[in-house]
Amino acid sequence: MRIAVVAPSCPLKRDAATRVEELAAAAGVTLVVHPQCFLEDGHFAGPDADRLAALREVMADPGIDAVWFARGGYGSNRIAVAAANDLPAAARAKTYLGYSDGGFLLAALHKAGLRVAHGPMVQDVAREGGEAAVRRALAWLASGDREALEPGLDGPAMAFNLVVLSSLMGTPLEPDFNGAELLIEEVDEELYRIDRFLFHVSSQPGFAAVRQLRLGRCLVRDNDRPFGIELEAVARHWCERAGVRYAGRADIGHDSLNRIVPFPSRNA
């Protein structure tokens, strides 16, 4: 099993890469960390052209079985459309794993018919308990370990960071939710912002195709005054307005407990 690591957003820390290479070797997995992961161009892991080229390179390599996004941050939206265009044949034989800002690429590649999943990334090894998250991702990529999956999955599902999803809605990369459960998570946002993002997401016509919504972990920042509505009440409100069932909580989030959510198979 050969897994390539690329950084479509922000640079990967070298100590994180080294530790994950060790964990991969212990699991019998060959980790191929692309040199682009350590480039720095302002906020980004290299210019857009370099990040795109690295991703396209590993997508086209028939010796690579899976592509693992190094970390989130911001930037994958700048290359997502181009990444999913004119796909090489080898790209269709791989699995693509990431979350957070990587959701832009998950959406683009899934629409193009590729196998994608929301789940832990390489830089997560630096979190408290992060080695468990990395082992979970490696076990799923290498052998499809079902213990790594979000335990409440009962059918087709997709998972996104809420801010990323809100940015996707109304664009050519908006996911096709037809019959799928939608899981959302968020980090470091005030409740009023979560309310605003859910307003935008649930107001889009495509949201009506969601089978049900579940809410992952959301790290809520203090507002300057109490919002007056609890997090789950916010989610229920916008689900009710859109006629979509709210089905409770999900085991995903910006933390080391983040579970894997494979997107449904799709024929491009």
Are the C-beta atoms of 105 and 98 separated by less than 8 Å?
yes
Q: Which tokens go with 43?
A: 């906020």
Cα 108 to Cα 188: distance, rounded to the nearest angstrom: 25
Closest CA to 99 of 171, 176, 162: 162
Question: What residues does 98 pair with on adjacent strands?
Answer: 118
Closest CA to 139 of 244, 259, 254, 12: 259
Cα 13 to Cα 15: distance, rounded to the nearest angstrom: 6
**Phi, psi at residue 149, to the nearest 5°?**
-80, 155
Question: What residues does 95 pair with on adjacent strands?
Answer: 66, 115
Cα 71 to Cα 5: distance, rounded to the nearest angstrom: 10
Cα 146 to Cα 46: distance, rounded to the nearest angstrom: 35
Are the C-beta atoms of 248 and 215 separated by less than 8 Å?
yes
The pLDDT value given to residue 267: 60
- Each residue's pLDDT, cut to its tens digit, for the chain (268 residues) gives 999 999 999 999 999 999 999 999 999 999 999 999 999 999 999 999 999 999 999 999 999 999 999 999 999 999 999 999 999 999 999 999 999 999 999 999 999 999 999 999 999 999 999 999 999 999 999 999 999 999 999 999 999 999 999 999 999 999 999 999 999 999 989 999 999 999 999 999 999 999 999 999 999 888 888 889 999 999 999 999 999 999 999 999 999 999 999 999 976 4
* The total number of residues written for the chain in this structure: 268
Closest CA to 104 of 83, 121, 87: 83
Cα 53 to Cα 42: distance, rounded to the nearest angstrom: 18
The pLDDT value given to residue 266: 75
pTM, entire model: 0.96
Cα 177 to Cα 206: distance, rounded to the nearest angstrom: 7
The kind and range of the H/E element at 166 are helix 162-168
Cα 264 to Cα 262: distance, rounded to the nearest angstrom: 7
Cα 97 to Cα 4: distance, rounded to the nearest angstrom: 11
